[in-house]
């Protein structure tokens, strides 16, 4: 939380002694995690970054299990719901950074437990070899078409997959409208994937299913850029979330961790997210394809508050278990 004029000098002196950093991340390794680590190491040649990658729930679970065992190896963590889970468990601490000044109030935690890393907007991905653009679903009701029965897949992740899909609809429509729809959707036999949304996208790319539901639109765009037969369509209101980055309660490399947080929040770090075709959270760094965001993309988005997601996770996960598992 230190903000004195010698802050950067202190961080550099400490980081040069610490040398290492361990980062638990939800970002795709070749798309974002590896370029971000490389960019940080280029800026600070004395730094060595290691990362472990999983979805938000698994990242949070791993950190909590280690802390319960008395192990304090990880320095920083990120994810959509990770910060809320770890704050509730008491194993992250508030931090500040001069880079946070550039962000609007709604993009950062007033208590300092997380900073905005990047933006996520969820969409339907479809295999362009199997589905024509004009046939792709454009509304939630379109998912009820009999042609999609047994041909869709989604992640079981409570913080980004099927449970959050249900929660987004309940929040947007109210239970009176959402529950009958959910009952009908359950008849479509959506395949559950006990892994990340990226794994679901891979199933779409490989032609195992026609549609992937609740998929990060930037990951679809990145796969399409690399030649994969895949495209995306938004279903309004689109589920929108921040990926949030946090500092552990007992980081073994605190000075290096603070330098890394500064870097991630800076325009320099956010530009690497942009180059990786992610959606930067920084208000002055746009996405490579502006259509990934609501305004230029012409779609309506509904941001889910992390505290609300944590509060409702069990309820939404129970509903998902009852209807779809």
pLDDT at 244 (0 to 100): 95
Residue 52, beta-bridge partner list: 24
Domain identity same for 188 and 316: yes
The β-bridge relationship of strands 230-233 and 48-53 is: unpaired
Domain identity same for 45 and 96: yes
Domain identity same for 114 and 159: no
Whether 235 maps to a domain, the answer reads: yes
C-alpha torsion angle, residues 42, 48, 49, 52 (rounded to 10)? 150
Q: pLDDT tens for residues 274-285?
A: 999 999 999 999
| Confidence class for position 159, pLDDT limits 50, 70, 90 | confident
- Token pair recorded at residue 287: 């996405």
pLDDT at 185 (0 to 100): 98
Q: In terms of Cα–Cα distance, which of 165, 169, 167 is closest to 192?
A: 165
User: Which domain does 164 fall in, by range?
Assistant: 120-240+296-324
Domain identity same for 27 and 163: no
What region does 207 belong to: left with phi over 0, alpha with psi -120 to 50, or beta? left
CB 164 within 8 A of CB 304: yes
pLDDT at 57 (0 to 100): 85
Domain identity same for 125 and 257: no
Q: In terms of Cα–Cα distance, which of 234, 231, 248 is closest to 299?
A: 234
pLDDT at 136 (0 to 100): 97
Whether 2 maps to a domain, the answer reads: no
Domain identity same for 220 and 291: no
List, in order, residues 6 or more apart from 220 with CB less than 8 Å away: 123, 125, 201, 230, 231, 232
Domain identity same for 79 and 145: no
Q: In terms of Cα–Cα distance, which of 228, 283, 289 is closest to 116?
A: 283
Give the chain's domain count.
Answer: 2
CATH number of the structural domain spanning residue 220? 3.40.190.10
For Cα atoms 40, 46, 47, give the angle at the middle one, nearest 5 degrees.
Answer: 45
Q: pLDDT tens for residues 201-239?
A: 999 999 999 999 999 999 999 999 999 999 999 999 999
List, as one string, the DSSP characters of 135-170.
Answer: GS--STGGGGSGGGTT-EEEE--TTTSHHHHHHHHH
| Confidence class for position 315, pLDDT limits 50, 70, 90 | confident
Helices (H), the chain: 7-18, 34-43, 56-68, 82-89, 162-173, 175-186, 197-205, 217-225, 254-265, 267-275, 294-297, 306-324
Q: In terms of Cα–Cα distance, which of 135, 145, 123, 325 is closest to 238?
A: 123
Mean of the per-residue pLDDT values of the chain: 94
Mean pLDDT throughout 127-137? 97
């Amino acid at each position: 939380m230190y903000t004195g004029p010698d802050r950067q000098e202190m961080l550099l002196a400490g980081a040069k002694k610490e040398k290492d950093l361990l980062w638990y991340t939800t970002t795709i390794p070749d798309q974002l995690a590896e370029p971000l680590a490389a960019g940080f190491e280029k800026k600070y040649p004395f730094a060595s970054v290691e990362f472990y990658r999983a979805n938000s729930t698994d990242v949070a679970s791993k950190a909590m299990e280690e802390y319960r065992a008395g192990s304090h190896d990880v320095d920083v963590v990120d994810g959509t719901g990770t910060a809320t889970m770890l704050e509730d468990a008491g194993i992250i601490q508030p931090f500040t950074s001069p880079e946070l000044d550039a962000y609007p109030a709604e993009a950062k935690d007033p208590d300092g437990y997380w900073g905005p890393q990047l933006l996520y907007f969820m969409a339907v991905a479809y295999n362009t070899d199997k589905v024509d653009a004009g046939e792709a679903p454009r509304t939630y009701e379109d998912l009820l078409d009999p042609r999609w029965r047994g041909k869709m897949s989604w992640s079981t992740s409570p913080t980004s997959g099927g449970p959050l899909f249900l929660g987004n609809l309940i929040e947007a429509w109210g239970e009176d409208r959402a529950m009958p729809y959910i009952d009908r959707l359950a008849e479509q036999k959506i395949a559950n994937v006990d892994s990340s949304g990226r794994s679901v996208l891979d199933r779409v790319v490989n032609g195992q299913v026609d549609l992937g539901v609740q998929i990060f639109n930037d990951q679809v765009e990145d796969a399409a850029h690399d030649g994969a037969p895949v495209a995306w369509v938004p279903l309004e209101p689109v589920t929108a979330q921040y990926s949030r980055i946090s500092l552990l309660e007992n980081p073994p490399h605190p000075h290096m961790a603070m330098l890394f947080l500064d870097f991630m929040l800076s325009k320099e770090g956010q530009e690497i997210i942009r180059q990786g075709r992610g959606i930067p959270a920084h208000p002055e760094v746009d996405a490579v394809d502006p259509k990934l965001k609501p305004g230029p993309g012409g779609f309506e988005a509904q941001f889910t508050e992390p505290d609300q997601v944590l509060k409702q996770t069990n309820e939404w996960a129970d509903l998902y278990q009852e209807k779809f598992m």
